Structure 1
Amino acid sequence: MSTLTVSPRGPLAGALPRPSSRARAFALDAALVVAGAAVVALLAQAEIPLWPVPITGQTLAVVLVGASLGVRRGGMALLTYLLAGLAGLPVFAGFSGSIAAVASPSFGFIVGFIPAAMVAGYAAQRAWDRRPLIAFAAFVAASIVPFLIGVPYMAFILNTVMGAELSVAQIFAAGVTPFIVGGLIKAAIAAAVIPLAWRGVAALDRDRD
């Protein structure tokens, strides 16, 4: 009978029973990747409109997906999300999606979600996601990653493409400051949810024994 198993290291998805055949293992990985992309698409619709970048639930979803799936599958889930949006599926904030999104000031953040999920996955694969305080630190680090790509991209679109001529301070005020408190809250939520999920897996594992 298939059961969940607590591994010394690895993401939550590693607790799932692994199919013996390569085809079924691939199908499981594909399903997890698509499910991860769907979670991000869903939380993207939890939106507080701001200019030039809205506040959404995407960062929380990115961290949860990355920590749950690991580096490879987490990164693939966010790449799938990005490609689905560019293909026209309404997965971005505000149920939007189009190749034209590349000209949006917020698009760099979406690109940054891919390495962010991988950072969260890296933490999970080293079991840093099982204690809330350590998980919180790791998830804050993962949450910073989209800004490393998103803020310069936003500045380029606003100043070079749109001709806004915003100063560095104005760019920071528009692309960083509004997200600090929310980012910490979302990292804290993820740092509570993931260790709790691991405790649930451990309880099921004990019941099996």
Structure 2
Amino acid sequence: MTTNAQTALRPVLADRFVRKSVATDVALIAGGVAFVSLLAQVEIPLWPVPITGQTLAVMLVGATLGARRGALSLTAYMVLGLIGLPIFAGHSTGTLSLPSFGFVIGFIPAAAVVGWLSQRNWDKHVVRSIAAFFLASLIPFAIGLPYLAASLAQLGLPHGFGAVMAAGFTPFILGGIVKWVIAAGALPLAWRGARALGARRDR
């Protein structure tokens, strides 16, 4: 009989290529940080929130590493940026007063949620993959928009609903849809590739 604990431990994509160990977990978490840092530099500069490739990276890291490692990777990304590594958008460092910092916080639960769903095979099937990545793409906004409103208020700038949506949501709709579709399509394809490689090895 399959228990809830066993269900929660279903392998994610990374587990098809590396054996689980502390060393590989550390390497995968570090790789996730590097990947998010790289896509953070794919940027259309805007203020107070730039358009970047970070959200796509967050979703892919969470799905491929799983909930725990994905969340740890994004936590490490946030902490390293706060202590001075230039890994945020535009090779910048982070401060808690940065208006866009709430989105960075939101990346952590977003990676955890999509990782949790991937551990339950949502990333292997197109329809469930679309639903999982859509949910994950909304989580940074749930944290980032209230944080943005508070930051704008501290700066003495307009911070009503319309102003916050114009600054932190509306410019991201088209790009968010594109990143959502890319992520939702990439993971089922990656699983097909992994299964095909496994079948070849077994011949």
- TM-score scaled by length of structure 2: 0.92
Cα distance in 2 for partners of 1:166, 1:87 equals 28
Give the count of matched residue pairs. 194
Aligned partner of 1:3 in structure 2 is: none
Contact 1:106-1:150 at 8 Å conserved across structures? yes
**1:188-203 → structure 2 map (5 Å cutoff):** 188-203=181-196
Cα distance in 2 for partners of 1:59, 1:10 equals 23
- Secondary structure of the 1:77 match is helix
Cα distance in 1 for partners of 2:54, 2:19 equals 29
Q: Shift in Å at residue 45 of structure 1?
A: 0.2
Aligned partner of 1:180 in structure 2 is: 173
Contact 1:140-1:183 at 8 Å conserved across structures? no
**1:25-174 → structure 2 map (5 Å cutoff):** 25-98=21-94, 101-159=95-153, 161-174=154-167
Question: Gapped runs of 5+ residues in structure 2?
Answer: 1-8
Aligned partner of 2:19 in structure 1 is: 18
Contact 2:51-2:172 at 8 Å conserved across structures? yes
- TM-score scaled by length of structure 1: 0.89
Contact 2:150-2:159 at 8 Å conserved across structures? no
Q: Shift in Å at residue 17 of structure 1?
A: 4.1
Cα distance in 2 for partners of 1:9, 1:185 equals 28
Cα distance in 1 for partners of 2:117, 2:165 equals 28
Cα distance in 2 for partners of 1:136, 1:87 equals 35
Cα distance in 2 for partners of 1:17, 1:186 equals 27
Provide the identity percentage. Answer: 54
Contact 2:149-2:160 at 8 Å conserved across structures? no
Cα distance in 2 for partners of 1:203, 1:39 equals 25
- Alignment root-mean-square deviation, CA: 1.3
Aligned amino acid, residue 35 of structure 1: G
Question: Gapped runs of 5+ residues in structure 1?
Answer: 1-7, 20-24
Question: What whole-Å deviation, never above 9, does each CA across 1:126-152 have from its counterpart, x for those lacking one?
Answer: 100012222111101001000111000
Q: Shift in Å at residue 208 of structure 1?
A: 1.5
